[in-house]
Amino acid sequence: MSPNPLQGAQFTLAAHRVRQLPADEGAEVAFAGRSNAGKSSALNALTGHRGLARTSKTPGRTQQMVSFALPPLAQGEGESPLEARLIDLPGYGYAKVPEELREHWKLEIDAYLHHRASLRGVVLIADIRHPLKEFDRMMLEFCFTTGLPCHLLLTKADKLSRGQATQALAAMRKSFRDGLHATAQVFSSTAGTGVEEARTRVVELLRTPRER
């Protein structure tokens, strides 16, 4: 097994507003998804740090933008290592979050996605057992129209047979032909399915400057 380039991730801060995030330089990848889709578990699996992102049986715990610093990321020969971060966006779709807070995060996430210069891609987390929800599709559409790379993790694949998971992935990729576009894979933080593939994709996103 190759060394984990995301190992050594450390909590930096939790921000209520975009302006409270670390300086907008270097490179970062944002993680987005519904509150119960397994976002925290995915972050923990990818970084190899079981307690990095909180996991809870109560969805909706992430109600701030949480920044995790990564060790400097090696680039090409002669290039300086890259300052890199992962940003955990607030889980969306959780009914018990007050309407005022939901509206706040709608505006802040919109501002973050539009204006954050160091943002190089989004990892969208969705439960493989369910169709994409409205916000999932909105996120995919936003990434497609703005040229922001998006990688879809179809989580909780351990709840399905291998054949069912393969079918779900094929159906998802087929749906991308309807005007949405992203890379997608099967993933399970519990079984370790797709963890190496997802790490590789996150590192690719971090190392690839966006065309603007």
The pLDDT score that the predictor gives to residue 162 is 94
Size (the chain), residues? 212
Write down the pTM of the prediction: 0.92
Supply the pLDDT for residue 128: 95
- The kind and range of the H/E element at 111 are helix 99-115
Fill in the amino acid letter for 173. R
Query: Maximum Cα–Cα distance for the chain, whole Å?
Result: 51
DSSP class of residue 144 equals H
Helix (H) or strand (E) holding 167: helix 162-175
What is the distance of C-alpha 1 from the center of its chain? 23
* 123 in Cβ contact with 195 (< 8 Å): no
Stretches where the chain sits below pLDDT 70 are: 1, 55-62, 93-97, 177-180, 212
HEC profile for 2-50?
Answer: CCCCCCCCEEEEEECCHHHCCCCCCEEEEEEEECCCCHHHHHHHHHCCC
Tell me the two tokens of residue 57. Answer: 């049986």
Query: What structural domains and CATH numbers belong to the chain?
Result: 10-127+191-207 (3.40.50.300)
| SS3 label, residue 154 | strand
pLDDT for residue 89: 92
**Residue environment code for 77-97, b if the CB has 16+ CB neighbours within 10 A, otherwise e:** eeeeeebbbbbbbbbbbbeeb
Q: How far apart are CA 162 and CA 176, in angstroms?
A: 22
- State the pLDDT at residue 99: 80
